[in-house]
Amino acid sequence: MKEHVSRLNEWYVPKFGPLKFRIFVGMLFLPYTGMCISFSIIGSLLSPGTIYWDRIVAIILIYFTALGISAHAADNIGSKKNKPWGNYFSNLELLILLISGLVIAYGIGMYYIIFFVPLLLPIAILEGFFLFAYNYEFWNGFFHNNMWFAISWGSLPLLAGYIMQTNSLSYTVLLISAVPFLISYTEIKLSRKYKVLKQTHLSESKSMELRLIIISTSTIIFTVAFLILRALQITF
């Protein structure tokens, strides 16, 4: 319960509204979900050809529902320790959120896979696997660590975005995917330290919180700027 109370004080949790609403918004981890979505947008914008804007909207919806809703609901269900956000949402409610998010995400994804980008299918399978393997801590938590987190919610979203636009991959894009891997790895490593400090040394956690704010907001701001430049067809 102590962890739950401290999380209600996180900077990304609204200070207004009913308690259940605040917990729901907090459970979405919007700054970090925003980072993952940003990587998918960046991957889309790396396409050398015409940008299909409907596919950018689609990839945003896919990762918001699959990660923001489903993965975080799964995390709350599958946690082997304390529930990250307490017991304000029953397992049935969380299961409904989990299934609903996946139905939307994979419904959109399968439409594009069938008609436009079949190469997206391996990414969809991998992301689905990691969603359960990471959050339910399968095989004694083998996949529940920083490296797999950085691959599944850092590198793969960028590759998914690029494939969504081009139905192809290149060595250059594979190399570039190392950047979101490193950013995500840094974020989750700091986040785990921050979580401990928040419980034990609240004053010391402030500097760690600031680093997390900088990482997430700068990633999102860069993505928005890149998006505007591509929309205006500005190149360097």
Per-residue pLDDT of the chain (236 residues; tens, 9 = 90+): 445 556 788 999 999 999 999 999 999 999 999 999 999 999 999 999 999 999 999 999 999 999 999 999 999 888 766 666 777 889 999 999 999 999 999 999 999 999 999 999 999 999 999 999 999 989 888 999 999 999 999 999 999 999 999 999 999 999 999 999 999 999 999 999 998 887 777 677 888 999 999 999 999 999 999 999 999 886 54
**What is the C-alpha to C-alpha distance for residues 38 and 44, in angstroms, rounded to an integer?**
10
Give the predicted TM-score (pTM) of the model.
0.94
103 Cβ contact partners less than 8 Å away, ≥ 6 residues apart: none
Specify whether the CB–CB gap between 108 and 126 falls below 8 A: no
Instruction: Give me the amino acid identity at 153.
Output: W
Name the residue type at position 136: Y
pLDDT at 206: 87
Taking phi first (over 0 means left), then psi (-120 to 50 degrees means alpha), and beta for anything else, what does residue 167 get? left
pLDDT at 2: 47
